[in-house]
Amino acid sequence: MEELVCDQEIAAEGEEESYFQDIDILQNHGINVADIKKLKSAGICTIKGIQMTTRKRLLAIKGISEGKVDKIKEASQKLSESGFLTALEYSDRRKMCFRVSTGSSELDKLMGGGVESMSITEAFGEFRTGKTQLSHTLCVTAQMPGNNGYGGGKVVFIDTENTFRPARLKEIADRFNLDHEAVLENVLYARAYTSEHQAELLDFVAAKFHEELGVFKLLVVDSIMALFRVDFSGRGELADRQQKLAQLLSRLQKISEEYNVAVFITNQMTADPGATMSFQADPKKPIGGHILAHASTTRLSLRKGRGEVRIAKIYDSPDMPESEASFALTAGGVADAKE
């Protein structure tokens, strides 16, 4: 019996290691250390990371020639299993997914347990609907052990609107009786100033996640579209904006799958001038168009209720029904609304 337990533990460790295959093992396949260093500087740190990167992007890395790209791609293909799994095998792999609580049991229930790892969860709404409060609450709840063996971990917060407030984290930490300094110590914060800077920060995030494997559990971007709205103006630059946005979202999705982290992004709304013609009840819609709509795995629509109450609705999800839940914004962050 003891041997069986030992075997299971060794198998679990093996799974974890095979999940995060370090890029350094390419040395055994004729790739030199200098080239591996160049890949790491571009935020590519695992074998899975190479598979997730196009040849075009690899060629853009300084000092990586076409011949080297072919060699690197060939070596990474040898190291990874073929692209197909049975649904049963994939179901086992999905067991590694965890969910981060939102601080409100009603909202958790609506989202099937919280913000899911290996996917992008988007919350959109007008100003004052609780998007940033939800982001702050998640920064604290992600550090606490949760359901189904979730052990808690560190958080990365990318702020594009200068709305991050450490004082809020302290208030939320008080609600859960957590130490202020420990909570703040576990949140890695970066302020992004342009859409390009936002994309560059993700390379650093990937390197950090690799440096401390399995330590980081949540990546928050508040908000995803603010800088794109500023950097690209008018219809003339729309195609370019959407392409850059698609690349950023693709990078986010890949990071979430590569390192098994939950990605939570917030988004703004815009008035739709054409809506009055089609007699829609609500003429506002989230910005980012179809690109953002398709990239987000789960989309939450937030709207104001009475007083401090806010209503969340599942707008789009691959595995959850469309329904609503109420939550309240309190001094201690997002909590259940009092009936």
What are 11-57's pLDDT values in tens digits? 444 445 556 788 888 888 888 899 998 888 888 888 888 888 889 98
Is-contact 291 248, C-beta < 8 A? no
pLDDT of residue 184: 96
Average pLDDT, the chain: 87
Cis peptide before 117 (omega within 30 of 0): no
How many CA atoms are closer than 13 Å to the CA of 190, on its beta-carbon side? Answer: 19
**Between 166-175 and 131-141, two packed helices, what is the crossing angle to 10 degrees?**
60
pLDDT, residue 3, reads 39
DSSP class of residue 27 equals G
Which residues of the chain have a pLDDT value below 70? 1-19, 82, 274-283, 339
pLDDT in tens, 251-295: 999 999 989 999 999 999 887 776 666 565 666 888 888 889 889
Contact criterion met (CB below 8 Å) for 122 and 267 = yes
Q: Tell me if 134 sits within 8 A of 123, measured CB to CB.
A: yes
Tell me the C-alpha distance between 253 and 289, whole Å.
17
- DSSP secondary structure, 106-129, as one string: HHHHHTTSSEEBTSEEEEE-STTS
Residue 124 CB-density burial (10 A; 0-12 exposed, 13-18 middle, 19+ buried) = buried
Structure tokens at 71: 């060699």
Closest Cα partner for 183 from 137, 150, 226, 120? 137
Residues 6+ apart with CB under 8 A from 254: 49, 52
The pair of structure tokens assigned to 274 is: 């054409």
What phi and psi, each to the nearest 5 degrees, are found at residue 309? -80, 140
The one-letter amino acid at 190: A
Strand partners, 324: 313
Give this prediction's pTM: 0.88
In the prediction, which pLDDT does 4 show? 35
